[in-house]
């Protein structure tokens, strides 16, 4: 993140604008709304700036900029129309630690001015970090149509309820839940419809009920984070992340998914590394129970789907035994997602009549799958975590009747920009997997449908490498 987003209180603060054209006018109008004390310096200004100066909205000084104009300035906007002059003024600001925005010159700017959706006091700022102002402006236009016009009035009404909530509710968590219920429930709907009195009655009844009832019990939600692409997260999963007080997440949950969580939520990595090292399942279960008993809303965020090789069942058993309330939000599992992103249909009436999902690791007691059934014709087999035991899997399938030329595909970093696909056969897939440095997480798909990748691949560019290409 190149820029740190913040909102700057400029009421009665001195702001300098260097320049007197239409661009300077647009900046002045925006700064006036923020209550800034604006001084504009330029040898010539457009008529509208003269009119605003006569009305007392800002001060206009008709001359060239001089360094002394920066005395006491909290923010500088530079729009002289001359690149050399702009950069000279920017260098003076930088030497004085004055935040400066140079119009249309991202490299010379310390701050940039975003596109704004204004529902005062609610402001939504959209920035492309200077890469494409047009893109930011277009998204502002879209949000203008989406964001309710009375959103700012709703925010002011909710602010008026804060004093009463502080007096009557026990702590920060209770107050947050109270306001979440207001915003998500009928009170906000009443307010948006113009029924302020009805909204107020609902808010007061809810406050009285929250004061009388015992502390809210904790709750655990097992959430499937999907295979990595944040856009594959379900709406229910997004809501759970937004509400969570504590998030216990797997090692392979992508940063993009975690970024969707509430900023002040406690995030605890409980991932296990290849080979079985890392956080024990018993400790994870203990943490889920402990945080829920403390009255927190807990999300157990698991890669893919919680019930597909995710030990979600074991965690629910621990919660049920401890008397903790829980729910489950399914996720898009890696088998369907990675296969789809690789252009491999898991079933196809010409090639496969069944799909079997298998873990690539043997069970803790050394149990092996039914290799003869997995080697059957017209079937698709998907091996989760199949990279470490790839040679063993290939040998067992061939030993139990699968032809050595049966198509196979290995998918690494599926659904992510770094996705790689190696396409081959049972006899040939292992060598390129090692030589090309394929790393976990990786999914192995065995069956006639794997060969369809060559025809149906759509995600990314040049993601696939056949065995013949890697030789």
**Residue 237 three-state SS:** helix
| 278 DSSP 8-state letter | B
- Other Cβ atoms within 10 Å of 204 Cβ, number: 13
Whose tokens are 């789809």? That residue is 340
Residue 118 annotated to the active site: no
Of these residues, 14, 236, 272, 396, which one is catalytic?
272
Of these residues, 210, 250, 302, 305, which one is catalytic?
250
Q: What region does 72 belong to: left with phi over 0, alpha with psi -120 to 50, or beta?
A: left
* Number of alpha helices (DSSP H) and beta strands (DSSP E) in the chain: 19, 18
* 277 token code pair: 């090292």
Burial class (CB in 10 A: 0-12, 13-18, 19+), 349: exposed
Whose tokens are 């050595």? That residue is 404
Structural Rg of the chain based on CA atoms: 30
CA atoms of 64 and 91, how far apart (whole Å): 17
CA atoms of 291 and 370, how far apart (whole Å): 40
Let me know: does 254 contact 228? Beta carbons within 8 Å: yes
* 289 token code pair: 């129970």
Q: What are the CA-CA distances from residue 390 to residues 361, 369, 387, 398 (Å)?
A: 10, 14, 5, 12
Residue 250 annotated to the active site: yes
DSSP secondary structure of 126-171:
E--TTS-HHHHHHHHHHHHHHS-TTHHHHHHHHHHTHHHHHHHS-S
* Residues annotated catalytic, as ranges: 250, 272
């Amino acid at each position: 993140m190149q820029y740190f987003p913040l909102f700057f209180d400029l009421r009665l603060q001195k702001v300098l604008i260097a320049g007197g054209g239409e661009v300077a006018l647009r900046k002045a109008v925006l700064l006036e709304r923020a209550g800034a004390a604006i001084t504009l310096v330029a040898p010539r200004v457009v008529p509208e700036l003269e009119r605003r100066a006569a009305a007392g909205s800002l001060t206009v000084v008709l001359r060239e900029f001089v360094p002394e104009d920066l005395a006491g300035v909290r923010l500088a906007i530079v729009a002289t129309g001359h690149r050399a002059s702009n950069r000279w003024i920017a260098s003076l600001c930088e030497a004085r630690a004055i935040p400066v925005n140079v119009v249309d010159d991202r490299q010379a700017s310390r701050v940039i001015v975003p596109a704004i959706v204004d529902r005062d006091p609610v402001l939504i700022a959209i920035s492309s970090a200077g890469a494409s102002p047009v893109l930011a402006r277009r998204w502002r236009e879209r949000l203008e149509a989406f964001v309710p016009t009375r959103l700012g009035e709703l925010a002011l009404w909710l602010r008026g309820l804060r004093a009463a909530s502080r007096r009557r509710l026990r702590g920060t968590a209770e107050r947050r839940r109270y306001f979440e219920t207001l915003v998500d429930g009928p009170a906000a709907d009443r307010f948006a419809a113009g029924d302020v009195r009805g909204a107020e009655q609902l808010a007061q009844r809810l406050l009285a009920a929250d004061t009388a009832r015992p502390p809210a019990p904790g709750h655990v939600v097992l959430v499937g984070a999907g295979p990595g692409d944040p856009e594959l997260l379900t709406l229910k999963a997004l809501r759970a992340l937004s509400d969570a007080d504590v998030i216990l997440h797997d090692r392979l949950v992508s940063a993009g998914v975690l970024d969707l969580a509430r900023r002040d939520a406690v995030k605890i990595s409980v991932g296990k590394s290849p080979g079985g090292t890392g956080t024990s399942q018993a400790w994870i279960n203990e943490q889920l129970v402990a945080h829920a008993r403390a009255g927190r809303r807990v999300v157990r965020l698991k890669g893919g789907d919680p019930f597909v090789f995710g030990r979600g069942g074991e965690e629910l058993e621990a919660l049920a035994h401890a008397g903790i309330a829980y729910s489950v939000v399914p996720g898009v599992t890696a088998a369907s997602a990675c296969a789809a992103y690789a252009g491999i249909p898991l079933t196809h009436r010409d090639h496969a009549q069944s799909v079997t999902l298998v873990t690539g690791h043997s069970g803790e007691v050394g149990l092996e799958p039914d290799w003869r059934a997995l080697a059957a014709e017209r079937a698709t087999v998907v091996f989760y975590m199949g990279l470490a035991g790839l040679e063993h899997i290939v040998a067992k399938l061939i030993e139990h009747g699968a032809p050595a030329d049966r198509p196979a595909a290995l998918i690494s970093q599926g659904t992510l920009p770094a996705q790689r696909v190696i396409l081959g056969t049972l006899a040939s897939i292992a060598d390129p997997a090692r030589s090309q440095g394929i790393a976990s997480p990786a999914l192995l798909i065995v069956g006639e449908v794997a060969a369809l990748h060559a025809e149906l691949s759509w995600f990314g560019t040049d993601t696939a490498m056949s065995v013949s290409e890697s030789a």
